Amino acid sequence: MSIFIEREKCVGCGRCAEVCPGNLLILRDGRAQIRDVRDCWGCTACVKECPREAIFYYLAADLGGAGGRLYARDTQDSLNWVMKWPDGSEDSILVNKKKANEY
């Protein structure tokens, strides 16, 4: 289980590096990369923080994902978790950030 950075989408804002609790993300040549993907424990903080959907989390088979990818679309009031499946379909879970403590 890990994240993957689609470097062609990255704009080098550095927000992912600021929130990674393991200090695993760095900017190189103006784009983010992970030092060693084996150290990532999948907290998804960087996925949530990225404004460009440039980072996704692998949904492995043991999570029922079977190759799916989990992205986050953040807006002022909501966080939309988007699961993109290998067949091209998508599912999503919308979280109201102002009521997050009620979930």
41 touching ligand SF4, by CB under 6 A: yes
Q: What is the DSSP letter of 45?
A: H
List phi, psi (to 5°) of 90.
-135, 150
Output 50 or 59, the one with its CB closest to ligand SF4: 50
How far, in Å, CA of 99 to CA of 103, rounded?
Answer: 7
CA distance 103 to 75: 18
In the complex, minimum distance from the CB of residue 67 to ligand SF4, in angstroms, rounded to a whole number: 18
Provide the binding-site residues for ligand SF4, judged by CB under 6 A. Answer: 3, 5, 10-16, 19-20, 22, 24-25, 32, 34, 40-46, 49-50, 52, 54-55
